Amino acid sequence: MDLRQLEIIRAIAESGSFTAAGELLHVSQSAISRQILLLEEELGEAVFYRIGRRIRITPAGESLLQLSHRVFQDLQDTVTAISDKQESLRGTMRLVGGMTVCLYVFPALLAEVRRIHPQLDLKITVGSTPRSIAMLRAGAGDLGLLTLPIEASDLVAVPVLQEELLLVTYPTHPLAKKRLVQAAELDKQPFILFETGSVTRRLVEEFFTRERIEAEIVMETENVEIIKAMVRNGLGISIIPWQAAADDVRTRQLSASRIAGHSLQRETGWLYPKMSRLPRPVSEVIRVFDTIKPLFEAALKGPR
């Protein structure tokens, strides 16, 4: 069996006869018949039934027809992909993400993308998860990097990073000198948290519920920089990703602690609309991210 025979099967199925298939492929009807006869001899099965001047495809022929569709689609996709790689990326790429991602992941990622594809116009929109999802669905965003899980049947979610969430306090807080804080010590504490409805807020609230912690929520915001500023000024404590707190801890503007017996983690992943083939800018940004992913993974792990 070869590609030419698969092409002939498809032509016969589409045109309805050996003669018409020959005209489509610019070969004689006898050449078409000869190739089908050779194929049937090889398989030991009929590919088409001859009923007078009409033909009908057999189950074996139907299997080969489906195979031909897959093979020629794969060939087309491969040729297109090779052609794409030979062309410089142009146009506009629209990324959406939460505040933490836009502050700590996108700058390094987009610098690398810009280095490789200087003619690609990169645009970023920061927003809550619901807003980011709405933009992806409306076509106002091409690719999102968001906190998972996200339940959306029309979108594809691909986990890529796990980051540790730590308790952060101001340096003079009674808990600041403890590397491990007991969950009970958080009861009745004033907290500044991410906004209600966010995945990170839900993770924290589930932890509070499990440990029966009655936290006093004094403020909530989607902006992690605002959270840190409030904590630094003694207005409360918080639970935030380590990558957001690391520099402040190193400069001793904040203290970070783990909660004894608990490993608080959140997962971040790519989100994009379901489609048969990803646009090249989307797949290329994901590919570039994979090449520098170890840099992010090292930054996401809390202090040792």
- The whole-number mean pLDDT for each consecutive block of 10 residues of the chain, a chain of 304 residues, reads 88 88 89 90 88 85 89 80 65 93 94 92 92 94 95 94 95 94 96 93 95 96 95 97 94 96 93 91 94 85 72
The model's pTM is 0.68
Q: What is the pLDDT of residue 265?
A: 92
Look at residue 201 in the predicted model and tell me its pLDDT.
94
**Please, what's the b/e burial string for 99-110 (b: 16 or more CB within 10 A of its CB; e: otherwise)?**
bbbbbbbbeebb
pLDDT tens-digit map of 209-259: 999 999 999 999 989 999 999 999 999 999 999 999 999 999 999 999 999
Strand partners, 194: 221
CATH classification (class only), 88-304: alpha beta
What angle do the packed helices 280-300 and 242-250 form, to 10 degrees?
Answer: 50
Pick the CATH number of 3-85 from 3.60.21.10, 3.30.1490.100, 3.30.300.130, 1.10.10.10: 1.10.10.10
Residue boundaries of the structural domains of the chain: 3-85, 88-304
* Helix and strand element counts for the chain (H, E): 11, 12
pLDDT at res. 120: 92
